[in-house]
Amino acid sequence: MVFRHRVPDPALHIVSFDWVRKFPAPLAWQVTAATHGVRVVWLVDDWQVRSSYHHPASRAIYVNTRGTTWYQTALTYGAATYVEAVTLWFLHEVGHAAHRHEGDRRRALRLGKDDPREVQAWHFALAFRASQRDKWQRLVDAYAAWYSTYHHRWKDWPDDLEEARAAGWPARPYRGWPALGTERGDLNPRPAPA
């Protein structure tokens, strides 16, 4: 199998999620998001959606489950597997909701990587993982259970770092990605086991 590795396309901006292939997220994800005012969380398996989105107007989160870019999250933010990377994407979008980041009311919130709101959202995700280990593990386990029963269309990505490196994926993050998680001492990118 050939594994493709892509950097997300920042120019892609989905206006409507009505026609994309999406599924309700696991209950643990829905409950966590609801504590921050999110009404619904969708897992998206659609080639058109290359990022995850927080849609403030509809109080919804759309999490990209296509694993073609998970490795970048793993290298940058310390995720060991595809499942952990997707869970971090989810928490990143919850971070936007928790900080009440608003955008154009007709569109999903789409920010550049250097936007301070992106930094806040990533800090939220990394702080959650570091400080709430039990809840973090429940979220990871909930997505792992969903992923184990779902068959992605055109799956072309490995599921862990070892498999990705064996397939020749790069050993370092691409330039331009913010190396959050190493900026503040309280946000260890890969916390020690509890």
pLDDT at 76: 83
Listing DSSP states for 2-31 in one string gives PPP-----TT---S--TTS-EEEPPHHHHH
Q: Is 104 helix (H, G, I), strand (E, B) or coil?
A: coil
Low-confidence ranges of the chain (pLDDT < 70): 1-16, 103-114, 173-194
Provide the 10 A C-beta neighbour count for residue 4: 12
pLDDT of residue 113: 60
Q: How many residues are recorded in the chain? A: 194
Predicted local distance difference test score (pLDDT) of residue 6:
43
Which pLDDT belongs to residue 175? Answer: 53
Task: Give me the pLDDT at residue 137, please.
Answer: 98
User: Are the beta carbons of 63 and 90 closer than 8 angstroms?
Assistant: yes
pTM beyond cutoff 0.85: no
Q: Residue 179: its pLDDT value, please?
A: 42
DSSP letter (8 states) at residue 69? G
What is the model's pLDDT at position 111?
Answer: 52
Q: Tell me which residue of 104, 3, 122, 133 sits closest to 52, measured CA to CA.
A: 122
Instruction: Report how far residue 192's alpha carbon sits from residue 194's, in angstroms, rounded to the nearest whole number.
Output: 6
